[in-house]
Amino acid sequence: MHAAAAELGYSHNPLFAEVMRFVRQRAPDRHLGALAYLVPCRSNEQWEQARRLGRYGRYGAAVREHAARYGFDLTEFPIGLPAFSASRLAQILIARGISGLFLETFPNEHFEREFPWQHFSTLLVGHSLHSPGLDCVVSDHVNAVLLAGEQVLSRGYRRIGLALETSQDRDTSGAWVNGYQLLQARHPQWGAIPPFIRREITAGPLIAWLKEYGIDCVFTLSALHDGPLRDVVTPMEDWLAAAGIECPGEVGLVTLDRSYVPELPWAGIDQSTEEQGRAAVDLLLAKLQVGERGLPKISRTLLVHSHWCEGRTVRAPKL
């Protein structure tokens, strides 16, 4: 029967059984199944807080909302906790009949080695990885830096610096630095300023770097790491004020990702987090539809553009 079907050009549709189940159900109960969202957690306390608040990662809400439009539920699982090893997590997913996964973290080497990727269609959201080479949806960080550059140049800033923590640079595989170098290459008349990248950004070295290179606008992030469990709002505005530097007149501040602290009234880049979540659902369902399982031979990256948001930390545009 299979040979005859192949001769006629028919191929297996892995979602067909789910679709037929959907058709047979009563309208109020119709859904196509469940997808899994793997949430990075550093502690049991962090996971319990996420469950209590119903807030799972940066993209979870957008993924859940868009998946529901297609008839899919979303079930969240922690990743990084001892109780949820790679093998145990896989057993739970297989037992529940879940074959589509969203991943919002970097799996460690042990997880990568132990997890049976061949059973699942997997998509990384918000980051890209060299290993394992997963398909991913991510913000176009290079374009974001160029967009921010256009905005601050139109406001009279000329000596633009980039300040990141080492982990922030690593999380984007150096993409922000690449964008910054491209921005400098397009405007060589303003001179080359080395990026300020440190394991931990503190006031003294940052102010010294500003003064040494005559920087009048800093591209950075609005959150800094504070120990292994949490991030805090950056106090850069306070650091500038303590050094007698007026913001935004003398030095402007631009966040490259407002979604870290959306309530902070900084100017900067909105990475279109909701659009990344929607795009991730579309791509994962496409993988499920054609039966793509395991690690791809050639991974795909879908880039989502950002947009500029006004804020108090840069001058008004010149008319």
* Residue 45 CB-half CA count within 13 A: 3
pLDDT (tens, 9 = 90+) of the chain, 319 residues, equals 556 655 666 655 555 555 545 544 545 555 678 999 998 887 788 778 878 777 777 899 999 999 999 999 999 998 888 888 889 999 999 999 999 999 987 667 778 888 999 999 999 998 766 667 899 999 999 999 999 999 999 999 999 999 999 988 988 889 999 999 999 999 998 888 999 999 999 999 999 999 999 999 999 997 765 443 345 688 999 999 999 999 999 999 999 998 767 778 899 999 999 999 999 999 999 999 999 999 999 999 999 999 999 999 999 987 7
User: Could you give phi then psi for residue 15, rounded to 5 degrees?
Assistant: -95, 0
What's the pLDDT at 254?
Answer: 97
Asked if domains 2-139+274-304 and 141-270 share a fold, the reply is yes
Q: Is 274 helix (H, G, I), strand (E, B) or coil?
A: helix
The position carrying tokens 């997590």 is 89
What's the pLDDT at 20?
Answer: 47
- Write down the CATH number for the domain with range 2-139+274-304: 3.40.50.2300
Sign of CA dihedral 152, 161, 241, 201: positive
**Domain ranges in the chain?**
2-139+274-304, 141-270
- Write down the CATH number for the domain with range 141-270: 3.40.50.2300
Residue 211: strand pairing partners = none
Rounded Cα distance, 68 and 245, in Å? 49
Q: Is 181 helix (H, G, I), strand (E, B) or coil?
A: helix
What is the value of pTM for the model shown?
0.83
Bond into 265 cis (ω within 30): no
